[in-house]
Amino acid sequence: MSRGSRRLCQALLVLCAAVPAVSLFPDAAAAEFRLCNRTQSRIGIALGYKDGDIWTTEGWWNVSANSCETLLRGELTARFYYLYAVDYDQGGEWAGKAYMCTREKEFTIKAADDCLARGFDRTGFFEVDTQEQKAWTVQLTESGQSKPAQANVPPPPPPPPRPR
């Protein structure tokens, strides 16, 4: 290697050492849409988002108690995403008023209209505003969950008095 080539290599090493590694190798894993289940139950997740001009829903991600799951990888391209979650163990759901198509088994469904006519379920998703960030994490807690309605059943009669 010539003396000039060695100096060029040394100069490049000094230049690279002066530039933070983050700018050289961006952390692609940090740009994503994640969901963290902060409950004691297993939950199922369905996600709705705009894919170009078409609304798309996908499901189901099964997320264990007190764990996180990446739903979308890469930089987020939209401001609003939509979620629906169901508590497999305790019952209840996290839902909203943005209706999109789902089904019981794993799915990817294009378009959010005429769900029932197309053989899908019509499910209410809640909106997540990512504020145009490139990465976002949603934390689901039991306080944000609506529990299933309890049947209106009268309480059992009191036990008979014990003999003395």
pLDDT digits (tens, 9 = 90+) for 126-152: 999 999 999 999 999 887 666 543 333
> What is the pLDDT at residue 153?
38
The per-residue pLDDT of the chain, averaged, comes to: 78
Decide: helix, strand or coil at residue 111. coil
First to last CA, the chain: 107
Amino acid at 11: A
Kind and range of the H or E run holding 8: helix 3-18
> What is the pLDDT at residue 30?
64
Pairing of strands 93-94, 32-37: unpaired
Distance of CA 159 to the CA centre of its chain: 48
| Per-residue pLDDT reduced to its tens digit, 16-57 | 333 222 222 333 446 799 999 999 999 999 999 998 899 999
User: pTM to 2 decimals?
Assistant: 0.70
- How large a percentage of the chain has pLDDT more than 90? 61
Phi, psi of 86 (to 5 degrees): -130, 140
The number of residues making up the chain comes to 164
> What is the pLDDT at residue 20?
28
Q: What is the torsion angle, in degrees rounded to the nearest 10, for the CA atoms of residue 142, residue 116, residue 61 and residue 31? A: -90
pLDDT above 90 for 83: yes
| Per-residue pLDDT reduced to its tens digit, 88-98 | 999 999 999 99
